[in-house]
Structures are given as C-alpha cells and as structure tokens.
Copies of this chain bind each other. A is one copy, B any other.
C-alpha cells in the first residue's frame, strides 16, 4: 500500500509516492510553476507591481497534479488502486479570492488585470500597513489571542492580506465569495469539498480554541471588514490527519488515480515535516530550511513566546500545542548574494572545479576559523519574522574592509541566519519552552556541511538531519496514511514512516566560544536596529576577534 504526498513550494510542486509500511520513497516528480513568483509584472502585462508584492497563479498548482502524480505512478509502476491516499502541504499564508464554486477571480476576464485578484504568496509583504493596524487595534482592545502570536501579527498572514484587498481594491473584495488558503483551495479542487484546515486557521487566521477574533474586532479594523468571517470564510475546521474527501472524477482524470481516493485535510509545509523527521514529542525544534526557514515544535503547555509566529492547540499533532517561529530570509539571502554580489573570478573557479557557486564558496569559507572574516551581518534582507515580526527591517553588513572577499561575506551571511535561529531558541527558552535538540530538513542543510556545523556551533545544540530530502512531501504522505486509516494516529505513522539520518552534528567547543562573542555583537545590532534600544561600538572588538582567529 502506498500514499502520495504533494508538497507545494515557492517555485515548484513535488509529488512523492511512499510505501506506507516503512516510508520508503518509491518515486518522485517535480513540476515548476510556469509563472513562478510574480513580483515584477502580472503575466503578459507591462505595468510594474509595487515593491514588496509577491503573487502566484493558481493554474500553476493544477498543473502540478496533472504532471507529477501520473509521473510517480509511471516511474514506480505501482497500480493506482494500491494508492490509498493523497496528502498535500503548502506554503502559508498563501491565499486567494475565489467565487462560490471555487473559481479564482484571477482567471476571470473581468478581474485578471487586477493584481489583488491573484494569489498573494506567503512572501507578499505589501500588507504591512494592514498588519500595523491589526496589531494596533488588537493591543488597544486588549485582544487575548494576540499573545499567542508573539504579540504581533505579520504582514504575511491571512487577515493582513485580506484587509489589504478590502482597502486597496474593495471591488475585488466584494466580488470574492470566499477568501481561502491555497492549501485548502487545492484540496477543494481535488475533492469538490471546501474545508478549512486547523493548521492554517490557527497559525495564519488567528483561530484559538475554535474561534476567530470577534466581529467587533474586525469592525474596529474597518466597518466593511466586520463580517469577513461569515461572508468570506467558514467557522468549522478540519482536524489534521482527517480525510477531507475523495477524488472527484475530474481530479481522478488529472492524476490517474481512482475516483474516490482519500484526500487528507491540507496542511502547511513546515508543520507536516515534524512527523517526517520523527519530531513527535516536545523539545525537538524542527527547522525547515529553504528560501526561508520555518521552525516548528511541540509543547505540553501553552506559553507566550516573544515574536513567535504562533502557538496553536492541535496545530501540528492533535493533543499537543504546536509552536511555530521562523526566519523570513535564509536560502533567499544566500541566493541573492550568489546572483548579485559575487565577481566573475569565483564563477569561473566554480565552473572549473565542476561545482555550483554555492558549493565553491562554501568550500572556500570553510577554510576560515570562526571570526576570521571580521564581519557581522543582520539576516534581514527579507525582513524579520521571529522575533521582531517586522517586514520593514533590512539587511546589514558590518566590518567590511578592502580585504573582504566573497567567501567572507558568504560565511557571514550563513552565520547571520544561525544567529537568528539562536535568538529564536533563546526566546523560547526564556518563556519556559525548552529546546533540547535541532532537526534540520530541506535542501540547504543537506547540501552544506559548513552550514550544519555553524548552526550546531552557534546554537550549542546537537543537530540532526532529516532522513529524507523531501521531508514535507513525506510528511504529507504520512498524514495521508492516517487519513486513509492505515495508522490510528500521526505518532504511530511517524514511527513507521518518519526518517532521520544517522549523523548527528555536535557543537565544537572552541568554535562555540568565538560564536558566543560574535552572537553578543549580533544581539547588540539586533536590539539596536530592531528594538530601538542599546548602543555599541563593536568594530574594534571585531578586529580583535579576527586577529585572534588568525593567530595574532
């Protein structure tokens, strides 16, 4: 028996066909979105989108079903009847306005020229003014739920984006019968059933204890927003691991699976990863590292952690409090650097060495001792999700001299993201949520040994690695197995199907000591530029640390 997990990422969708007995990944297929991330102009248009916009095209998601599921069936040779369930996971909050029958507004001639009719991708940050209002009104009214989101709602979230539509394009808002997460929308396309999964509802739409914020609260944001829940959403939520419905004949035709095949309730790419790496008990922080990093962890109690993205009962695994935090730029920053700030000599050297430029720079940077480059960066090229929840902060590089070279900066950028992780860990622990160990999933830690060691050294914690290079898709297959009734609960499915590598990366004490000093500098900048407090003069100390690292 098999299940198929389908992971919808920022640039592509990936299906994995998995053996439910042992989690063996039999076949994989990937399909890139034709329109990718829409951040300069709408497809076929010339008018530039404003800064901070990031959209997607829903039809790209349907193409993923059509291409990847038949492909994994073909590659594996598995009889479609042996596939007992399909699960999906998605970036979040990635949301769109649709008609009552699920038709996205952006496919309708009437609306397709309006950017607000398109899907707002998770990294669409232009809703910051709405997020500011959402936060200010919540604080002013003393909304109890605010604490469970680290005291701040992000511009990335559901109501920030929805309110931006209302305020900037009321005609789109009013034309939309539903506002829905893309995760739930694709399940709707597969099953014909509109569900709202507990995970995105809890983490992105401020649902706590089964309730949205009050009508009075929404009215205080904008009178026209008062009935957003009853007009555009729904008040029932689907539990993770449950069945959403069965494949419609149309979706069966897209995929080559039998009509009626179980489809699991949708989930978020990060959260679904926890059971894929056997993190089904408290104290294990799972870092899903890609263009950005999402951290998920189980807790026994509900605690208020500064700048966390959220804590949601049953938000990852029913019966636990699911904590989420994150970093809005990680791989994105490294990619920015490699594409925009590395001179030809390294491009040529990498080509000659037959490796990617990332790999070449990693190799060069790995020659250095911690602190040798004399640099500190703030990893805010794409804003800061945790612990500041502020899309408007920006990247900083400090300590450059005429001797600074590309591998130095590359290493400093990796370190800056590790410091950002440590800041999150310390924030959790300060509020009584212990973080015993880290598990890293995603392409970044898998490919980059230097990064793995830096994360262990900077955080001072053992780092384990996902046993699968496609952990979210595996996770979706695990939820599908539970939804199909193969296992009674997620823990048991994880025990059979989840995977960790044997290797554990341990912190190196002498590196830790240097990084403790550098982290203190990072914190000073962090607080100064992120929190309006503190003052410092760190350059001399950085030079001393550098000299010391060079043995002088």
Which residues on A are within 8 Å of B, measured CB to CB? 50-51, 329, 332-333, 336, 339-344, 347, 374, 380-382, 392-406, 409, 528-529, 532-540, 542-543, 546-547, 550, 552
- Nearest Cβ in chain B — how far from A435, in angstroms? 28
CA distance A81 to B84 in the complex (A): 103
Q: Please give the distance in Å from A361's CB to the nearest CB on chain B.
A: 13
A537 to B536, alpha carbons, bound, how many Å? Answer: 14
Q: Which of B329, B332, B404, B538 contacts A340 (CB 8 A)?
A: B404
Instruction: Out of B347, B400, B543, name the residue touching A395 (CB < 8 Å).
Output: B400
Q: Across the interface, which residues of B come within 8 angstroms of A540, CB to CB? A: 392-393
Find out whether the CB atom of B539 lies under 8 angstroms from the CB atom of A535.
no
Residues of B within 8 A of A529 (CB): 398, 537-539
- The answer to whether A535 and B528 have CB atoms under 8 Å apart is yes
| 9 additional A-B residue pairs with CB within 8 Å, beyond A332-B402, A395-B404, A397-B398 | A51-B546, A341-B342, A341-B343, A342-B343, A381-B402, A382-B401, A393-B540, A395-B399, A529-B539
Indicate if the CB atoms of B532 and A402 lie closer than 8 Å: no
**Shortest Cβ distance from residue A335 to the other chain B in the assembled complex, whole angstroms:** 8
Known interface pairs A50-B552, A537-B529, A550-B51; A400-B394 also in contact (CB < 8 Å): yes
B395–A401 CB distance below 8 A: yes
Question: Which residue, A381, A402, A547, has most C-beta atoms of chain B within 10 A?
Answer: A402
Give Cα A537–Cα B532 distance, bound, in whole angstroms: 6
The answer for the CA separation of A343 and B539 in the assembled complex, in Å, is: 28
B394 close to A396 (CB less than 8 A): no
- Given A343-B339, A344-B344, A392-B539, A400 and B402 contact (CB-CB distance below 8 Å): no
* Complex Cα gap A182–B135 (Å): 65
Chain B min CB distance to A155 (Å): 13
A51 to B546, CA, bound (A): 10
Given A51-B547, A340-B405, A406-B341, are A397 and B394 also a contact pair (CB < 8 Å)? no
Report the 6 A-B pairs with minimum CB-CB distance, sorted nearest first: A395-B400, A344-B344, A396-B398, A532-B537, A394-B399, A341-B341
Task: Please state the number of chain copies in the assembly.
Answer: 2
Q: Residue A402 contacts which of B382, B536, B539 (CB distance < 8 angstroms)?
A: B382
Contact residues in B for A50 (Cβ distance below 8 Å): 552
Bound Cα distance A382, B392 (Å): 30
Are the C-beta atoms of A397 and B397 separated by less than 8 Å?
yes
Of the candidates B394, B406, B543, the one whose C-beta lies within 8 Å of that of A542 is B394
Pairs across A and B, CB under 8 Å, 7 listed: A336-B404, A341-B341, A394-B539, A398-B529, A528-B537, A529-B539, A533-B535
How far, in Å, is A267 (CB) from chain B's closest CB? 27
- A333 / chain B contacts, CB cutoff of 8 Å: 402
Q: Bound complex: CA of A381 vs CA of B399, how far in Å?
A: 8
Q: From residue A251, how far is it (CB to closest CB) to chain B in Å?
A: 35
Q: Using Cβ atoms and an 8 Å threshold, which residues of chain B touch A398?
A: 394-397, 529
Contact of A406 among B340, B399, B401, B402 (CB under 8 A): B340
Which B residues touch A336, using CB under 8 A? 402, 404
Contact B394 A401 (CB under 8 A): yes
- A403-B51 in contact (CB<8A): yes
A535 / chain B contacts, CB cutoff of 8 Å = 528, 532-535
Q: Which residues of B contact A534 (CB under 8 A)?
A: 535
Give the chain B neighbours of A393 by CB distance below 8 A: 539-540
A200 CB to closest chain B CB, in angstroms? 25
CB distance from A544 to the nearest CB of B (A): 9
CA distance A374 to B393 in the complex (A): 11
A343 partner residues in chain B, CB cutoff 8 A: 339-344, 347
A174 to B538 CA separation, bound complex (whole angstroms):
38
Contact residues in B for A392 (Cβ distance below 8 Å): 539-540, 543
Question: In the complex, what residue of chain B is closest to A341 when comparing beta carbons?
Answer: B341
Residue of B nearest to A374 (CB): B394
What is the minimal beta-carbon distance from A448 to any residue of chain B, in angstroms? 19
Provide the bound-state CA to CA distance between A534 and B529, in Å. 12
Q: Nearest B residue to A396 by beta-carbon distance?
A: B398
Residues of B contacting A532 with CB < 8 Å? Answer: 535, 537
Tell me, in angstroms, the Cα distance from A403 to B381 when the chains sit together. 9
**Closest chain B CB from A365 CB (angstroms):** 15
Q: Across the interface, which residues of B come within 8 angstroms of A381, CB to CB?
A: 400-402, 404
Cα(A343)–Cα(B396), bound, Å: 19
Nearest residue in B to A332 (C-beta to C-beta)? B402
Q: Which residue of B lies closest to A329 (CB)?
A: B402
**Chain B residues within 8 Å of A340, by CB:** 343, 404-406
The residue of chain B having its C-beta at the shortest distance from the C-beta of A48 within the complex is: B550
Distance (whole angstroms) from the CB of A552 to the closest CB of chain B: 6
Q: Shortest beta-carbon distance, A129 to chain B, in Å? A: 11
Q: Which residues of B contact A374 (CB under 8 A)?
A: 394
* CB proximity of A526 to chain B, nearest CB, Å: 12
Measured in the bound complex, the distance between the Cα atoms of B193 and A414 in whole Å is 58
Complex Cα spacing A336 to B537, Å: 24
**Cβ of A210 to closest chain B Cβ, rounded Å:** 36
Closest to A344 in B: B344
